[in-house]
A = this chain, B = another copy of it.
Amino acid sequence: MKENLQHKTETREFREQWIGFIHDTQDRICDRLEQLDGRTQFKTDNWERLQGKGGGGITRMISGGNVFEKGGVNSSIVYGSVTARMRKALHIDGATWFACGLSLVLHPANPFVPTVHANYRYFELYDREDYVCDRWFGGGTDLTPYYLDESDATHFHQIYKNACDGFDKRLYPLFKKNCDDYFVNAHRASERRGIGGIFFDRRQPDDEHGLDFWFRFCKGCAEAFFEAYIPIAKKQKNHPYGEQQRRWQEIRRGRYVEFNLIHDKGTLFGLKTNGRAESILMSLPPTARFDYDDKPLPGSDEDRLLQVCLHPREWV
């Protein structure tokens, strides 16, 4: 037995608890979204990784809904050997790995209902003798509105600030900034994908914040989704709109596509390591528009949104 290292068999119970949390959250979120949508239900695809690689996932998709034009709430439990590609991309040194996470993206039909993305994941890395040589948590939730409702933006950030503050008051400012720094279309003068939220990655249990802390933190943030997003969707879902608003929504959806396909590390890593393309690309909007050199009129509602994407604000 190695000193200070736990064997894979010893962390099994924790992995099972995490998996339970992911599946439970997936089900509860889908139920709540179906209730809100009122028209359509999620379809379920259970898939397995190909080519003898371990694990699989549950892809739950909604489309053509009353509120949600397209959305996915996916879970996956995957494991395998550390490849040269992973070693390089993730800067890790180990023999085998395990990962389990939840990933959701909702693209509403109404341009006044923001798109939302959330992701919570746990990763374990093992040495050749199956001892845990590294482990970490990552995740976050961020909002991509098409029109700016300042009270909604404040509400969304306030809920995540509250969720973080319950654990450690240093976390919200840090994770809010991480989020602003990560979801950036760097090729467009650092235009952000949306108005942010929280984002964290590779949070390793340490003396200050152990395994249990991060587990409870992820649970708390995942739970905050209900209070952060549902009321906004509910409030805005019948907001009147016309062709102009729909066109702008499609332009911004184009930017969403650009970020996910050019910059998002998770998407690119998944696609380039033979991940399940359909599950990874569920994050793409149902439709998108790419007009040449589109710029909203200065001072317009469209421009107001663009300005907060270019210059992130402190919402709380």
A interface with B by C-beta (< 8 Å): 45, 61, 63, 70, 72, 186-188, 250, 254, 257-258, 261-262, 268, 271-272, 274-275, 277-278, 281-282, 284-293
Contact = CB atoms under 8 A, between A and B. Distances in A.
Nearest to A282: B292
B292 A278 contact: yes
A70 B288 contact: no
A282 B294 CA distance: 11
A281 B286 contact: no
Given A261-B262, A272-B187, A281 B277 contact: no
Contacts of A281: 258, 290
A45 B187 CA distance: 19
20 contacts: A45-B293, A70-B290, A72-B292, A186-B272, A187-B271, A187-B272, A187-B274, A188-B277, A257-B257, A257-B290, A258-B261, A262-B262, A278-B292, A278-B293, A285-B290, A286-B290, A287-B288, A287-B289, A288-B288, A288-B290
A61 B278 contact: no
A257 B271 CA distance: 15
A287 B290 CA distance: 6
Contacts of A292: 61, 63, 70, 72, 278, 282
A268 B274 CA distance: 20
Nearest to A295: B278
A217 to B, nearest CB: 31
Given A187-B274, A257-B290, A261-B262, 16 more contacts: A61-B292, A63-B292, A70-B290, A70-B291, A186-B272, A187-B271, A250-B287, A254-B284, A257-B257, A262-B271, A278-B292, A278-B293, A286-B291, A287-B288, A287-B289, A288-B290
Contacts of A72: 292
A115 to B, nearest CB: 13
